């Protein structure tokens, strides 16, 4: 397994692999790898000749009061996990290479980036779309793998690649959860024991919503109200949003009669967690 830090070297290696007819599977990450990331890597390993994992904590997707400085960093552990899973290359660029002095170009997907997490984290998805575009250009993958936990991100990346004619196939893999239902996230390490227990209410609330819909309830406003009531019953009062939206446009829906996404973002102590389920 190689660790490549240079953009030029990554360009060169990818070109050499493609000239030889090798397919490249790509898993973009910010490190702090967990089982959710590893499930993406395993799928990439099954479906491609070469597997590239990027580890880059993208400063442009963090707000001024967010956790960029304390975001977990452990390249040694991440490298061991990647090697164990048969990764061929870790692309580990420095921010000064990705965003040199006087950098001025950004990618923004309109409408899809302004709602849900984008509404409470202005500029977040501009940072995400920009760095993913740059990584696609550098790595030149055939297939890129993303997790369903970050549903809005995945929808934005799919639209971006389609709109900009980027020749990368996007595969969105199921959200992995702990035994108690908590979605795997690098930020779970911030939770203390009580907060970790409280956080399980998020998936319970989403399952409750799904049950209500299966029982014939279609009024989105009433379903959201019940989700909120359940979350608040655990003493959690800081909710960024609870939304039921169209699965493609992310527009809010009033009556559930088509594919939809039920998404939420909630603060557990000082940690912001997101989760979602799709209804088809």
Which sign does the torsion angle of CA 117, 123, 128, 133 carry? Answer: positive
| Low-confidence residues in the chain, pLDDT < 50 | none
260-268 and 239-246 beta bridge pairing? antiparallel
- Fold held by 2-173: Rossmann fold (3.40.50)
Among 124, 10, 134, 128, which Cα is nearest to 62's?
124
Q: Which residue has the tokens 């527009």?
A: 251
Angle in degrees, 0-180, between the axes of helices 124-139 and 7-19, rounded to the nearest 10: 50
Of the CA atoms within 13 Å of residue 103, those in its CB half-sphere come to 14
Q: Which residue has the tokens 């290479």?
A: 97
pTM of the shown model: 0.96
Please identify every residue annotated as catalytic.
Answer: 37
Domain ranges (residues) in the chain:
2-173, 186-275
Structure tokens at 193: 């024991």
Residues 119-150 have pLDDT tens digits of 999 999 999 999 999 999 999 999 999 999 99
Q: Which residue has the tokens 């409750």?
A: 208
Structure tokens at 14: 């990818």
In angstroms, rounded to a whole number, what is the distance separating the alpha carbons of residues 224 and 205? 9
pLDDT the model gives residue 64? 87
pLDDT the model gives residue 271? 95
Q: Which CATH number fits domain 186-275: 3.30.1300.10, 3.40.50.2000, 4.10.520.10, 1.20.1270.10?
A: 3.30.1300.10
In angstroms, rounded to a whole number, what is the distance separating the alpha carbons of residues 24 and 140? 8
Burial label for 267, CB within 10 Å (0-12, 13-18, 19+), is middle
Among 278, 209, 201, 187, which Cα is nearest to 239's?
201
Among 143, 33, 18, which Cα is nearest to 82's?
33
Contact 182, 202 (CB under 8 A): yes
Contact 128, 156 (CB under 8 A): yes
* Partners of residue 108 on adjacent β-strands: none
Q: What is the DSSP letter of 238?
A: -
Residues 60-85 have pLDDT tens digits of 999 988 999 999 999 999 999 999 99
Of the CA atoms within 13 Å of residue 198, those in its CB half-sphere come to 21
């Amino acid at each position: 397994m190689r660790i490549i830090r240079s953009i030029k070297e990554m360009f060169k290696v990818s070109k050499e692999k493609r000239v030889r007819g090798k397919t490249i599977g790509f898993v973009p990450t910010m490190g702090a790898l967990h089982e959710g990331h590893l499930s993406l890597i395993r799928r990439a390993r099954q479906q491609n000749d070469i597997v590239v994992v990027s580890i880059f904590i993208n400063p442009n997707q963090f707000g001024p009061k967010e956790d960029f400085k304390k975001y977990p960093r452990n390249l040694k552990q991440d490298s061991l996990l990647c090697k164990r899973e048969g990764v061929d290359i870790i692309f580990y660029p420095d921010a000064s290479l990705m965003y040199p002095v006087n950098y001025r170009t950004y990618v923004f997907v309109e409408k899809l980036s302004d709602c849900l997490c984008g509404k409470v984290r202005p500029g977040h998805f501009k940072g995400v779309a920009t760095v993913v575009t740059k990584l696609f250009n550098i790595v030149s993958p055939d297939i890129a793998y993303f997790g369903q936990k970050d549903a809005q991100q995945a929808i934005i990346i799919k639209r971006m690649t389609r709109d900009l004619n980027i020749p990368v196939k996007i595969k969105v893999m199921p959200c992995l959860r702990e035994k108690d239902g908590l979605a795997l996230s690098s930020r779970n390490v911030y939770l203390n024991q009580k907060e970790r227990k409280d956080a399980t209410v998020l998936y319970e609330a989403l399952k409750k919503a799904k049950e209500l819909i299966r029982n014939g309830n279609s009024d989105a406003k009433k379903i959201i109200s019940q989700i909120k009531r359940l979350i608040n019953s655990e003493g959690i009062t800081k909710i960024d949003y609870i939304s039921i939206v169209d699965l493609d446009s992310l527009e809010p829906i009033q009556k559930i009669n088509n594919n939809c996404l039920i998404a939420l973002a909630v603060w557990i102590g000082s940690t912001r967690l997101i989760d979602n389920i799709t209804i088809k």
